[in-house]
Amino acid sequence: MSEERSIGLSSNGPPETVLPPPPEPLTEALAVAVGRDAVASVVAGYPTWSVAWAALGDHGRDDLERYAAYRVGYHRGLDLLRHSGWRGSGYVRWAFEPNRGFLRCLVGLRTAAEAIGEQDETERIDVFIDQLDPGWDRQTNLDANDAGDLS
């Protein structure tokens, strides 16, 4: 069972980080990429962007391949978060579209970790997601994302 953890709040509340948007050529290439190999080719051109790794994870051939893609995307997202001023705590909200690639990787990693029996990691990710965006309805937002409706 996971223990409850809290976010340390300053008098102004936790900071909020919004990632920079991915390059337009990346989003255009992902929009027309059909199938795993095409998505992998896009990722090879943009390996620092979580949104690309999230797409590759979505096309993974099995749980381990999905786990690997989402994990790389998660770590590339952490790199970009730190570069954007994030210091290990504070909000990274789904409401801001540039954050969605990172958050998709995190949720995908959680699902893949659960599928391969990594229960401790699943619980850690649940706590982390709740710290990044308390109250975020992951399932509704991700289902809307799949349908192309990101409202």
Q: Is the pLDDT of residue 11 over 70?
A: no
Residue 56 lies in a domain: yes
74: CATH: 1.25.40
Domain count of the fold of the chain: 1
Cβ 20 vs Cβ 84: under 8 Å = yes
Whole-angstrom Cα distance, residue 54 to residue 101? 6
Check residues 10 and 69 and name the one with the higher pLDDT: 69
Residues in the chain: 151
Residue 9 lies in a domain: no
Whole-angstrom Cα distance, residue 57 to residue 42? 13
Residue 33 lies in a domain: yes
Q: Is the pLDDT of residue 4 over 50?
A: no
Confidence (pLDDT) at 13: 74
Range of the domain at 31: 24-146
Above pLDDT 70, what percent of the chain?
Answer: 85
pTM of the model: 0.85
